[in-house]
Amino acid sequence: MLCVKCGFQNSDGANYCSKCNAQLPRVLQSPQEEVEPETPRIHDRLQQIEAAAARAASGEWNPEEFGRFLEETAAILAEKERAIREIPIPDEAAEDFREELEVGYTGIDLYNQGVQRMFDFVAEADPLFLEEGLELVRQGNEFVNQAMRINRENRRKLEEMSTDASSLM
């Protein structure tokens, strides 16, 4: 998939450019193809990070290029985290959201730790830092995906409760 912003040739199925992070055009293979709900957008960020780390490990990107990618990624993640943490949750609903929030915040923290560990790779060129960073990001991705599954389940339950309450009237 060719990036319309920078012209970089990305792998098929990528949703974001591995070079500049621009969103790539979406192309469905068939009219019946649907977006799988268990593969949320956060998976795209993981793919971007893995591709960038592979470039850094292979020497295709020098430390400065990889560092710039990490800075851009850290800024994007910080903005997303800020927006999530600022979502107002009424006190009476806090308990209902507790599990989702705890799992989601754990994922965010792991993502941030992983990116920070990859900054250590930039500073010291030790491939172990890169591997450790990637593992933390992958773990964070799993937690965020789990939080999104919990969110979908909670919404489904609320819809069922709303439907049941409507039928009683």
Structural domain boundaries in the chain = 62-168
Say how far apart CA 24 and CA 39 lie, in whole Å: 17
94-129 pLDDT, tens per residue?
777 888 889 999 999 999 999 999 999 999 999 999
Tokens of 107: 């994922």
Question: How many of the other CB atoms lie within 10 Å of CB of 122?
Answer: 20
Query: Which segments of the chain have a pLDDT < 50?
Result: 27-39
The model's pTM is: 0.69
pLDDT at 167: 62
pLDDT at 59: 94
Tokens of 76: 């994007």
